[in-house]
């Protein structure tokens, strides 16, 4: 079972080896030549990086709800009491200082829904922090310390594309709240794409001991640079079993750059084509030696892919010289490309190798008209939007999908409790077609006690009747 590192934790990062390694030259990979070399210590690295690592505290008020209130028989005979008492729910994660002005990167799930966020430095000082950017697609968030007028130590980004299986990495944290703990291990695997945590499935796997409480911490290479942000572990017991996953630094760099530029959302290139994995059966049909690459199953008209000349059944095998093993690998590589200019894609078409230059542009987002529904109705607490190409890309919908889609649900809201989910496409309410968000907003003003709703979820049409 995959687990986020929620609950009390601190994962500190590791810095440079006190000048012992030439950063420009990269890592010197070699087997220890003598027993004396095996006795070398990581202590200088740990001591150097502590000022650049922080603890992140998040708190939110939650209603102390009695589960009996969900029972209609209980409500009928005993009524519904007034305002329920609230309690403060706290979580603890960690983060990495990535800009001297006080920017901290952590995981979205560490601060999700928080009413208050505080950051504690290694010298025990605490600062309130504001959330300046959340990117749920990568599970990365950027915080800014409030009221600071000083320069803070930071960690530099490694080029995570240069990492190799077997490279040594360090992690420092506070697993299970026992206190500062240093662990070390190696990179066990790269480009893990079947993890199922975020939209961009391309993780660094490590056997460095990482336990619940390490969310948002850093995985650091032996040049003292940030190789990745630890995000989840695979565990049957809840503790470390030597399988941890980190978001590569090159993805972290993109999110931090967006925050520094003042953006409220991360802008990424849009391909405008749907890709599918190559199964052994498809590989045999195409005459491929291995089931590898990303097969084009559809192309959006006038998209960057269409203008570049990408066609149905093309097999993408590389992007900018980097091999593409599956659609997830392509999505990650493409998403980390800077906007502007072009990216070269290597394609196999009918047995011939072709190179295409794809423009690096964002998806059109005109007409999104995203609104939060607040009127008393089954939709209360949901945020909905018209399906633009950008919305379709974010929610993994077919590019030709039309209508209104749920983009966000507030915690413990009517919409969430009723059972709506992010990505639900609302087709009709009380037999009225819903073509745009204004139609749905108007429908929610109806005082009807019976709601007949038609929606599409996961490609399946569902008819729901609520109330009565």
The annotation status of 431 as a binding-site residue, yes or no, is: no
Q: Does residue 181 sit in the same domain as residue 307?
A: no
pLDDT at 69 over 80: no
Q: Does residue 24 sit in the same domain as residue 101?
A: yes
In the block, residue with structure tokens 């919908």: 397
Instruction: Say which of 188, 215, 240, 303 is annotated catalytic.
Output: 215
For 187, 222, 406, 416, the CA distances from 422, given in Å and listed in that order, are 34, 41, 5, 9
* Beta-strand pair 140-145/103-107: antiparallel
Q: Is residue 365 a part of any domain in this protein? A: no
Average pLDDT, the chain: 83
Burial degree of 452 (CB within 10 A; 0-12, 13-18, 19+): middle
pLDDT at 296 over 80: yes
Instruction: Say which of 135, 139, 207, 314 is annotated catalytic.
Output: 139
- State how far the Cα of 274 lies from the Cα of 272, in Å rounded to an integer: 7
Segment 328-346 mean pLDDT? 93
Q: Is residue 90 a part of any domain in this protein? A: yes
Q: What is the DSSP letter of 350?
A: T
What is the per-residue pLDDT across 203-245, written as a single tens digit (0 to 9) for each?
888 887 776 667 788 888 888 899 999 887 765 556 556 788 8
pLDDT (0 to 100) of residue 43? 84
pLDDT (0 to 100) of residue 61? 66
Percentage of residues in the chain with pLDDT exceeding 90?
A: 41
pTM to 2 decimals?
0.78
pLDDT (0 to 100) of residue 50? 79
- State how far the Cα of 450 lies from the Cα of 62, in Å rounded to an integer: 29
pLDDT (0 to 100) of residue 75? 53
Active site residue 139: yes
Question: Which of 148, 146, 117, 139 minimizes the C-alpha distance to 55?
Answer: 117
- The domain that contains 321 carries what CATH number? 2.30.42.10
The annotation status of 184 as a binding-site residue, yes or no, is: no
> What φ, ψ does residue 45 adopt, rounded to 5°?
-65, -50
- The domain that contains 86 carries what CATH number? 2.40.10.120
pLDDT (0 to 100) of residue 59? 85
What is the per-residue pLDDT across 150-169, written as a single tens digit (0 to 9) for each?
999 999 999 998 999 999 98
pLDDT (0 to 100) of residue 194? 67
Burial degree of 37 (CB within 10 A; 0-12, 13-18, 19+): exposed
Instruction: Say which of 91, 94, 109, 393 is annotated catalytic.
Output: 109
Does 450 or 37 have the greater pLDDT score?
A: 450
pLDDT (0 to 100) of residue 41? 84
State both tokens at 359. Answer: 């423009």
What is the per-residue pLDDT across 379-434, written as a single tens digit (0 to 9) for each?
999 999 999 988 988 888 877 788 899 999 887 788 888 889 999 999 999 889 99
Number of domains in the chain: 3
Contacts of 430 (CB under 8 A, 6+ apart): 443, 446, 448, 450, 451, 452
Contacts of 93 (CB under 8 A, 6+ apart): 5, 6, 9, 55, 56, 58, 106, 107, 110, 111, 213, 214, 215, 216, 217
- State how far the Cα of 266 lies from the Cα of 268, in Å rounded to an integer: 6
pLDDT (0 to 100) of residue 178? 66
Q: Does residue 223 sit in the same domain as residue 282?
A: no
Q: Does residue 248 sit in the same domain as residue 198?
A: yes
Count of H helices and E strands in the chain? Answer: 11, 27
What is the per-residue pLDDT across 84-126, written as a single tens digit (0 to 9) for each?
556 666 777 888 999 999 999 999 988 988 889 999 888 889 9
**Domain hosting residue 293, numbered range:** 273-359
Q: Is residue 366 a part of any domain in this protein? A: no
pLDDT at 21 over 70: no
The annotation status of 139 as a binding-site residue, yes or no, is: yes
Predicted confidence band of residue 17 (pLDDT cuts 50, 70, 90): very low
- State how far the Cα of 141 lies from the Cα of 97, in Å rounded to an integer: 12
Q: Of all helices (H) and strands (E), which one includes residue 394? A: helix 389-394
Query: Is the Cβ–Cβ distance between 234 and 1 less than 8 Å?
Result: yes
Q: Does residue 101 sit in the same domain as residue 197?
A: yes
Active site residue 215: yes
């Amino acid at each position: 079972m995959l687990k986020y590192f929620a609950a009390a934790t601190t994962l500190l990062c590791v810095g440079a080896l006190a000048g012992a390694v030439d950063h420009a030259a990269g890592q010197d990979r070699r087997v220890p030549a003598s027993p004396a070399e095996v006795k070398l210590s990581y202590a200088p690295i740990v001591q150097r990086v502590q000022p650049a690592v922080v603890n992140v505290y998040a708190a939110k008020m939650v209603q102390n709800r009695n589960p009996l209130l969900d029972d209609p028989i209980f409500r009928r005979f005993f009524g519904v009491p007034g305002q329920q008492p609230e309690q403060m729910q706290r979580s603890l994660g960690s983060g990495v200082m990535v800009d001297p002005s006080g920017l901290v990167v952590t995981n979205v799930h560490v601060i999700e829904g928080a009413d208050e966020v505080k950051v504690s430095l290694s010298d025990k000082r605490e600062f309130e922090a504001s959330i300046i950017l959340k990117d749920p697609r990568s599970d990365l968030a950027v915080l800014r310390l409030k009221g600071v007028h000083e320069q803070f130590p930071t960690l530099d980004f490694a080029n995570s594309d240069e990492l190799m299986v077997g490279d040594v990495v360090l992690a420092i944290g506070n697993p299970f709240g026992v206190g500062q703990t240093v662990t070390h291990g190696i990179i066990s695997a790269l480009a893990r794409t079947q993890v199922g945590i975020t939209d961009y499935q391309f993780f660094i796997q490590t056997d460095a001991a990482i336990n619940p409480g390490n969310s948002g911490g850093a995985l650091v290479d032996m040049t003292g640079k940030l190789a990745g942000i630890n995000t989840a572990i695979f565990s049957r017991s809840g503790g470390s079993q030597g399988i941890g996953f980190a978001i590569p630094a090159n993805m972290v760099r993109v999110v931090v750059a967006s925050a520094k530029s003042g953006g409220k959302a991360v802008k990424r290139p849009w391909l405008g084509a749907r890709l599918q994995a190559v199964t052994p059966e498809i590989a045999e049909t195409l005459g491929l030696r291995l089931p590898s690459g990303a097969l084009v199953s559809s192309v959006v008209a006038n998209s960057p892919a269409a203008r570049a000349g990408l066609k149905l059944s093309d097999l993408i095998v590389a992007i900018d010289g980097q091999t593409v093993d599956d659609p997830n690998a392509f999505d990650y590589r493409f998403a980390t490309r800077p906007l502007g200019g072009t990216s070269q894609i290597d394609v196999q078409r009918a047995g011939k190798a072709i190179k295409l230059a794809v423009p690096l542009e964002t998806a059109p987002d005109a007409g999104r008209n995203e609104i939060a529904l607040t009127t008393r109705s089954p939709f209360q607490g949901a945020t909905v939007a018209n399906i633009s190409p950008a919305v379709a890309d974010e929610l993994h919908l077919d590019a030709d999908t039309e209508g209104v889609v749920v983009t966000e649900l507030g915690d413990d809201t009517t919409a969430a409790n009723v059972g709506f989910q992010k990505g639900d496409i609302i087709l009709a309410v009380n037999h009225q077609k819903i073509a745009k968000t204004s139609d749905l907003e108007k429908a929610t003003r109806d005082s009807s006690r019976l709601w007949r709703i038609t929606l599409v979820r996961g490609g399946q049409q569902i008819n729901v009747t609520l109330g009565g």
